[in-house]
């Protein structure tokens, strides 16, 4: 059954940084090619991953791949700072800037295309969200338009029938995307404080989280595991099997 199409594909080459929109990409066993393949470590906190939870302004930095995508090695990763500077992700001046702003000692870690980055991909490989659920949450919140990047989905789906939270009814079933890829819906995404951080200015508004807790058991989006790998592109049909 046709349920919609892929409106946006977003991957995050660096964990907790803003991501990049891509017209097409490959779905690997671990999820989107290169998603969360690079990360900063907080050496002040036992070498754990540095995330928005500890340093809100991470949302204002955006990461992108620059160069040809290979299966042996990722392309160079570039970072666009809030001021518009473009730097290599491991540039000393960038790391110094992040350290000064976060008041933490930072190191880097990266994975390869053939290595499953279990740490950065903390739960399941791919996160999906729908336009109908976002529109309904905006109505429930009643404050302003919600930037779906707050929820950091990899696949943002435009539904054929605009039924809010219908994706939660698909749990345990499979989706075919385009002609190659097959995913299985495996779990709710239980949200944390990250959704309260505005991607534009890094300011927090806890009322959005409170609304979601009250109105939908703190669920927004669903996790999917990869059944069949392949290429996907924006506009691909999403079929519920």
Domains contained in the chain, CATH given: 2-240 (2.40.33.20)
Provide the pLDDT for residue 23: 97
- Give the pLDDT mean for 4-13: 97
Q: Nearest to residue 227, comparing CAs of 175, 153, 179?
A: 175
Q: Is the pLDDT of residue 119 over 90?
A: no
Provide the pLDDT for residue 113: 87
pLDDT tier, 125 (very low <50, low <70, confident <90, very high otherwise): confident
Per residue, the 3-state secondary structure of the chain, as one string, reads CEEEEEEEEEECCECCCECEECCEEEEECCEECCCCCEEEEEHHHCCEECCCCCCHHHHHCEEEEECCCCCCCCCEEEEECCCCCEEECCCHHHHHHHHHHHCCCEEEEECCCCCCCCCCCCCCCEEEEEHHHHHHHHHHHCCCCCCHHHHCCCEEEEECCCCCCHHHHHCCCEEEECCCEEEEEEEEEECCHHHHECCCCCCECCHHHHHHHHHHCCEEEEEEEEEECEEEECCCEEEEC
Structure tokens at 3: 């349920």
CA separation for the pair 106, 91 (Å, rounded): 12
pLDDT tier, 210 (very low <50, low <70, confident <90, very high otherwise): very high
- Give the pLDDT mean for 124-134: 93
48-87 confidence digits (pLDDT tens): 999 999 999 999 999 999 998 998 899 999 999 999 999 9
High-pLDDT (> 70) share of the chain, %: 96
CA separation for the pair 63, 20 (Å, rounded): 7
Provide the pLDDT for residue 123: 61
Provide the pLDDT for residue 223: 95
- Give the pLDDT mean for 36-46: 93
Residue 121, Cβ neighbours under 10 Å: how many?
19
Provide the pLDDT for residue 124: 65
Q: Is the pLDDT of residue 177 over 60?
A: yes
Q: Is the pLDDT of residue 137 over 60?
A: yes
pLDDT tier, 121 (very low <50, low <70, confident <90, very high otherwise): low
- Give the pLDDT mean for 190-206: 95
pLDDT tier, 17 (very low <50, low <70, confident <90, very high otherwise): very high
Q: Is the pLDDT of residue 91 over 90?
A: yes
Structure tokens at 111: 């994975």
**Alpha carbon 144 to its chain's center:** 22
Provide the pLDDT for residue 120: 55
Provide the pLDDT for residue 30: 85
Residue 68: C-alpha distances to residues 1, 116, 125, 193 (Å): 35, 20, 23, 35
């Amino acid at each position: 059954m046709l349920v919609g199409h892929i409106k946006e594909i977003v991957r995050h080459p660096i964990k907790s940084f803003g991501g990049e929109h891509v017209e097409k990409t490959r779905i690997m066993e671990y999820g989107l090619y290169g998603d969360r393949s690079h990360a900063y470590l907080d050496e002040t906190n036992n070498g754990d991953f540095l995330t928005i939870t500890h340093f809100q302004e991470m949302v204002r930095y955006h990461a992108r791949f620059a160069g040809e995508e290979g299966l042996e090695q990722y392309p160079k990763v570039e970072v666009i700072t809030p001021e518009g500077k473009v730097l290599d992700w491991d540039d000393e001046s960038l790391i110094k800037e992040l350290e000064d702003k976060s008041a933490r000692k930072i190191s880097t870690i990266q994975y390869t295309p053939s290595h499953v980055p279990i740490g950065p991909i903390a739960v399941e490989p791919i996160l999906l969200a729908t336009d109908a659920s976002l529109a309904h949450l905006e109505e429930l919140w009643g404050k302003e338009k919600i930037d779906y990047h707050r929820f950091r989905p990899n696949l943002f789906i435009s539904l054929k029938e605009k039924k809010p939270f219908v994706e939660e009814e698909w749990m345990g079933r499979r989706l075919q995307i385009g002609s190659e890829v097959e995913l299985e819906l495996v779990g709710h995404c239980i949200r944390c404080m990250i959704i309260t951080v505005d991607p534009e200015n890094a300011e927090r508004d806890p009322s959005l989280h409170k609304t979601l807790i009250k109105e939908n058991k703190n669920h927004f989006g669903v996790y999917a595991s990869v059944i069949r790998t392949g290429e996907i592109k924006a506009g691909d049909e999403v079929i519920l099997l």
